[in-house]
Amino acid sequence: MRKTLILAAALLSTGAANAGNVTLLNVSYDPTRELYKDINGAFASDWKQKTGDTVTINMSHGGSGAQARAVIDGLDADVATLALAYDIDSIASKAKLLAPDWQKRLPQGSTPYTSTIVFLVRKGNPWKIKDWPDLIKPGVHVVTPNPKTSGGARWSYLAAWAYAEKAPGGNAAKAKAFVAELYKHVPVLDTGARGATTTFAQRGIGDVLLSWENEAHLALKEAGGDKFQIVYPSNSILAEPPVAVVDKNVDRHGTRKVAEAYLQFLYTKPAQEIEAKDFYRPRDASVLAAHSADFPKIALYTIDDVFGGWTKAQQVHFSDGGMFDQIYKPGQ
């Protein structure tokens, strides 16, 4: 039965593309659409110069968790560039497509750029939102996506939690109460960061959008700069979106060399320039210094400091029946 089915499937199949040129598939999360459009062009010409080969990079975007799931289900990614380490860990643990120590293979825990969570408010800041406590003022509506499906939303949740736990007199119980109250102010829970931005910017829902810094800048740019403004809270979280080569897929495609070069390229100066231009905080100190006006210095907690790493944070906060499920009970 199985043999027959596989044979039948073979008849249906288009098979793998075997063109003379190299093709990579980068499976990424939602807000990187603009970033990788720019990066891919730069890398292709760099690679052409160095090797004479033409490389085409195909992109797939979606919620970080959804994208990880697609790779686990067989989406043939050569590289995964996702919103948080846990999602690539899942690809390693559930589908065994790459080694569990993948994060050690590239500098800075395989995160060539960082970001953080900021507030996007409507022009003039009518609710006078300045810091985290302002979000739970009566009447304020906060837009953020669903932490169960969106990577950015998980960073937002953890940023709020870290603020409340680390505030003077703060502790885990107070943090839980604060975050629970915060989610009572959320009228729409989109599945991805981009959906949330659309809801806030285009559909006019809510007073504050909890957003990736890069996403907030992009929304500002798209709206023409006179509809929104960005508010930096007193502290936030250091969001580290990691990148990894998916070992089993590149070895099957024979694309390891170019895939590795692609990810290393992300750390080069020209690439760091592009990342800074698209409002991701570059790792390169000199590039960061050149763009310091775009990236105000605020106190940033790391996930290791406050939550003991992603595996633990995921387990405690976002697993089935975890903290988020306990505190988020709309309609009751």
| Contacts of 205-208 spanning 24+ positions with Cβ under 8 A | 205/141, 205/143, 206/141, 206/142, 206/143, 207/121, 207/122, 207/126, 207/127, 207/129, 207/140, 207/141, 207/142, 208/119, 208/120, 208/121, 208/127, 208/129, 208/135, 208/140, 208/141, 208/142, 208/143
Q: Which one, 56 or 108, has the nearer CB to other proteins?
A: 56
Closest to other proteins by CB, 25 or 136: 25
Q: Please, which residue, 127 or 328, has the CB nearer to other proteins?
A: 328
Please give the span between the terminal C-alpha atoms of the chain, in angstroms, as a whole number: 50
Q: Which residue has the tokens 């709309």?
A: 330
Q: Token digits for 46? A: 């760099």
Answer yes or no: are the C-beta atoms of 243 and 80 closer than 8 Å: yes
Query: DSSP character for 280?
Result: P
Please, which residue, 149 or 272, has the CB nearer to other proteins? 149
- Nearest residue (CB) to other proteins, 114 versus 146: 146
Nearest residue (CB) to other proteins, 206 versus 233? 206
Smallest gap from residue 205 Cβ to other proteins (A): 6
Report whether 40 contacts 79 (CB < 8 A).
no
How far apart are CB 191 and other proteins at their closest, in Å?
6
Sign of CA dihedral 130, 133, 134, 135: positive
Helix/strand/coil (H, E, C) string of 55-98? EEEEEEEECHHHHHHHHHCCCCCCEEECCCHHHHHHHHHHCCCC
* CB of residue 157 to other proteins, shortest distance in Å: 14
Q: How far is the CB of 68 from other proteins (least distance, A)?
A: 8
If you ran DSSP here, which 8-state letter would residue 318 be given? I
- Report the alpha-carbon angle 200-206-211, nearest 5: 55
Q: Token pair for residue 159? A: 């940023």
Nearer to other proteins by Cβ, of 245 and 288: the residue is 245
C-beta of 74 vs 107, nearer to other proteins: 74
Radius of gyration of the chain (CA): 21
Binding site for other proteins (CB under 8 A): 2, 5-6, 8-10, 12-16, 25, 30, 33, 58-63, 65-66, 69-70, 72-76, 90, 94-95, 146, 148-149, 186-192, 194-195, 198-199, 202-205, 218-219, 222, 252, 320, 328-332
Smallest separation (angstroms) from other proteins to the CB of 107: 28
* Residue 226, number of CB atoms within 10 A of its CB: 8
What is the nearest approach in angstroms of other proteins to the Cβ of residue 226? 16
What is the smallest separation between the CB atom of 167 and other proteins, expressed in angstroms? 28
Shortest Å distance, C-beta 176 to other proteins? 18
